A and B are shown apart, each in its own frame.
Chain A
């Protein structure tokens, strides 16, 4: 959407303002205002990017100075929480395993692909979404991928391998001390969303550990994870 407003990006005033922003001479308030404009005005954002590229050779004036080694540790702690003892990563999306599954899925070899004739997830247009179960031979989790051609969305939900009627994946909140508390069971038809029980929401804070365990169908019979724990990790602000 290019409005008349936005085409003002062609004025010299915008060149100057963008240049002032990149030079850094503006006040904090003015910088915030410019950033607002960058976010909302693509033409103006391009002018800023151009100044950034043009003036980048001034960066040669900054001679390398190594920071103290301790700094990187602090950055890692801020991003990933305190160092953990070889815990498996919850970062499913980033794990090699995930991409291996994904590769399997896309190669259409050694993949159990199930196309449901009837809509598993109801859609207004009535056309059934494509569903594929991405699996490998000896893992505990499969990924259920469902593709909605109507809006181009692909959803991937983790499901327990070996028959969804036999096992369930359960999500846990792991406190610093004390027993893990169940946050719910992943249902394959709920698009990977879990509604956290109201009384547990205040515990869903940055740094809280989440874990997923493989449980008998429907969830742990004891209220505590019976395992195995297939993934765990600390929460952080993205």
Chain B
């Protein structure tokens, strides 16, 4: 289904249209279920999560605005956020929010610069290639599987602080590259 058709469905759902809700579910649930499965790695948990996700989709449909970007990205964000919350609640990770940002380069960034261009996807792919390939893979795996810093550190067999530092550097490099 085309992105604009999905956006139209979400807007109809916002008006309480249950048929549109069913169509939206049919069109998008395989993707969102895949997100739940990949992050939660348990079918029953994934089904449970999917229910909650579509309840939220129904409830939040009024907040969806076409100009905020791709409707699939909007749906995927709802799904990933919920699945990651469940995962973190299941396996709490001790980690403080303000763990030192010990980054050497403090270059200024411009968040005002406008977003969500059509070629966003390709641009991120190009920028990912500029990262150290091991770092790029870890960034992508963290996203796709919802890995915590601790899990990343265990998988990569490096100290937690090391992982944190180079993942943060990777984020900064990505941002700088995307703005070029």
What is A's interface to B at a CB cutoff of 8 Å? 9-10, 12-17, 19-20, 22-31, 33-34, 43, 46-47, 49-50, 52-59, 61-68, 71-72, 74-76, 78-80, 91, 93-94, 238
Contacts and interface: CB of A to CB of B under 8 A. Distances in A.
A8 B58 CA distance: 34
29 contacts: A12-B103, A12-B109, A12-B172, A14-B111, A15-B111, A15-B171, A19-B174, A22-B143, A23-B142, A24-B142, A25-B167, A26-B97, A26-B148, A27-B93, A30-B97, A50-B115, A53-B69, A53-B116, A58-B140, A61-B38, A62-B35, A63-B34, A64-B30, A64-B31, A65-B33, A71-B47, A72-B54, A94-B16, A238-B59
A53 B55 contact: no
Interface of B: 15-18, 22, 25, 29-31, 33-35, 37-38, 46-47, 50-51, 54-55, 58-59, 68-70, 72-73, 76-77, 80, 84-85, 88-89, 92-97, 101, 103, 106-111, 115-116, 120-125, 139-140, 142-144, 146-149, 152, 167-168, 171-172, 174-175, 178
Given A58-B144, A79-B55, 9 more contacts: A12-B107, A22-B143, A26-B95, A27-B148, A28-B88, A33-B97, A67-B33, A67-B47, A75-B51
Contact of B51 (A15, A59, A71): A71
Contacts of B111: 9-10, 14-15, 43, 46-47, 50
B142 A74 contact: no
Nearest to A64: B30
Interface SS of A by simple majority: helix
B108 A54 contact: no
Contact of A58 (B68, B143, B175): B143
Contact of A72 (B22, B101, B171): B22
A94 B58 CA distance: 14
A9 B28 CA distance: 33
Contacts of B47: 67-68, 71
A23 to B, nearest CB: 5
Nearest to B113: A50
A31 B88 contact: yes
Please give me the 4 A-B residue pairs with the lowest Cβ-Cβ distance, nearest first.
Answer: A94-B16, A57-B121, A64-B30, A56-B73
A67 B50 contact: yes
B174 to A, nearest CB: 8
